[in-house]
Amino acid sequence: MIVVFLGPPGAGKGTQCNFICDRYALKHMSSGDILRRERKEGTDLGKEAQSYMDSGKLVPDNLIVAMMMKEIQAADDAKGFVLDGFPRTIGQAEALDNAMDKAGKKIDVALNLQVDDNKLEERVTGRRSCLKCGASYHLVFSPPKVENQCDKGCGQLNQRSDDTSETVRSRIATYHEQTSPLVAYYTKKGNIADLDGNAAIENVTKQIVEVLDKV
């Protein structure tokens, strides 16, 4: 089973990806994680991607696709994959489909996690984490026992620099501009499933199970 997971920043894809991978024994493939690893390991792909990033340019679609296909082909023993954060554009989706065809694979379903923009901002700007132990909190949904302090006694919590209101609004706008057209792309292909991401976590999970159990 190969799943594409679409959704804006703060939609809760990470939580649901973990569940999907555990339940269906799938491999989680995050384009961001893979790109960071390739750069850290100094691979040819990583160095080429770094050259674009250092000059302030977007990493080309063909390079991102090459990275993802390298990862997919290296994990042939896996029962399937969840592609998280990829594809981000129509160009990447088309290149991915072409590469999949050549490899004798196909996308089974694209999960489209839909969340209202105002809820997204609340979810993202409320996130906090402990840099020492890695614990995660949310000011509204899972606050620490003492304001802005880690429950494990590590000290003050941290807010990611890209979790501010201004940055979040920009990231959401970029998502709508670049990635939302993928909904129309996969709708046309007939393999998309819309999910109500405004619902509670367990209800979103239930929706996903109903979709994937039929794949």
Catalytic residue list: 13, 88, 127, 160, 171
Query: Going by DSSP bridges, is the β-strand pair 109-114/2-6 parallel, antiparallel, or unpaired?
Result: parallel
Q: Where does residue 19 rank: exposed (0-12), middle (13-18), buried (19+ CB within 10 A)?
A: middle
Q: Tell me the C-alpha distance between 9 and 146, whole Å.
A: 27
Angle at 47 between CA 107 and CA 178, to 5 degrees: 45
Per-residue CA distances from 179 to 40, 81, 84, 167, 215 (Å): 27, 20, 12, 17, 24
Cα 173 to Cα 4: distance, rounded to the nearest angstrom: 21
Decide if 114 contacts 204 (C-beta within 8 A): no
Asked whether 1 and 187 are in contact (CB, 8 A), the reply is no
Distance CA 13, CA 20 (A): 10
Sign of CA dihedral 70, 39, 168, 138: positive
